[in-house]
Amino acid sequence: MSIKYKQYLKAKQNSWKTDAKRTDENIKYCKECRQCYEVFDGQNWHSKKYRYLPDFPSYKKQRQTCPVCKKGEA
């Protein structure tokens, strides 16, 4: 078995761990509207969009007021 193949298998086994870490960094919980949200890039590099996840568990998520609630649109 080659070294590259062993590295591939190792990365494949641990891919769910890195995905969970990325999720914890990107998803936050809004204290005002009481739901989780995710910030992602829009079509342009300078535009930000927000995806709200009402059924997402909020356990150990960073607590912040979302930008929509800060503006008073909610």
> What's the pLDDT tens digit per position in 16-61?
666 777 777 889 999 999 999 998 877 776 778 889 999 999 888 9
H/E stretch holding 50 reads: strand 48-53
H/E stretch holding 40 reads: strand 35-41
Ordered by start, the domain boundaries in the chain are 3-71
> What's the pLDDT tens digit per position in 4-18?
777 777 776 666 666
- Would you say 36 and 27 are in contact if contact means Cβ atoms under 8 Å apart? yes
pTM greater than the 0.85 cutoff: no
